[in-house]
Amino acid sequence: MMGIMGRWQSGASGRLKDAALGLFLTQGYDGTTVAEIAAAAGLTERTFFRHFADKREVLFVDQDEFERVFLSGLPERAEDPMTMIVGVLDGAAALFPEDRRPWSRARRSVIAANEALQERELLKMSSLAMALTRALTARGVDAASAALAAETCVTVFRTSFALWVAEGERRTFTEIQNAVLARLQALLT
């Protein structure tokens, strides 16, 4: 069976994520045990814990990679702030190809149903904004401008992500993000 993960990940880790997300969707996050996830993936609990520290990490394990790729679009050298923001947003969009949309949509739905997971997601976004602020500061941007640009990037990204995973949405992540950035620029003038 082709799971929610689609083609973008495979191996034991991918199978476990796929099994977990399917169970979270059908029987709830709190109502799912690691034993059930492992069994649904045809693997042992021991294998589960080789890949994930706990059940929650199935949904958040990619954080380091996420931050790395998110920041990878930032130009090496200082440019004008808008060029840097656009570079970061383009890098972020690369994380969300079409074949990831079903997984992202399912993950979003699981997180939306659980307050503790929402808080974890919020902290992840805050951590991302802080990493980006540091990266901008390291390129000579003053602290207040760096924080503003970083928070704005994350706001545009989050808003775009919410639209991208909405039912029936067909535009690519890049198309949505360009439209959201343009809308923000229009709002502020």
> What does the binding site for its own copies look like in residue numbers (CB under 8 A)?
81-82, 85, 119, 122-123, 126, 144-145, 147-149, 151-152, 155-156, 158-159, 162-163, 180, 183-185, 187-189
Question: For its own copies, which is the closer residue by CB, 138 or 179?
Answer: 179
d(CA 147, CA 164): 25
Task: Find the shortest distance in angstroms from Cβ 56 to its own copies.
Answer: 15
The nearer residue to its own copies, 35 or 182, going by C-beta atoms, is 182
Least separation in angstroms between CB 9 and its own copies: 29
- Maximal CA-CA distance, the chain: 57
Nearest to 123, CA basis, from 69, 60, 181: 60
In the block, tokens 């919020």 appear at: 122
109 CA to centre of own chain: 13
Q: Which is nearer to its own copies, 38 or 181 (CB)?
A: 181
Q: Which is nearer to its own copies, 35 or 122 (CB)?
A: 122
Q: What Cα–Cα distance (Å) separates residue 16 from each residue in 20, 36, 57, 110, 139?
A: 6, 10, 11, 16, 40
What is the crossing angle of helices 101-112 and 11-27, to 10°? 40
Q: Compute the distance between CA of residue 189 and CA of residue 172 in angstroms, rounded to an integer.
A: 26
Shortest approach of its own copies to residue 122 CB, angstroms? Answer: 5
Closest CB 176 distance from its own copies, rounded Å: 9
Residue 113 vs 147, nearer CB to its own copies: 147
Shortest distance in whole angstroms from residue 101 CB to its own copies: 18
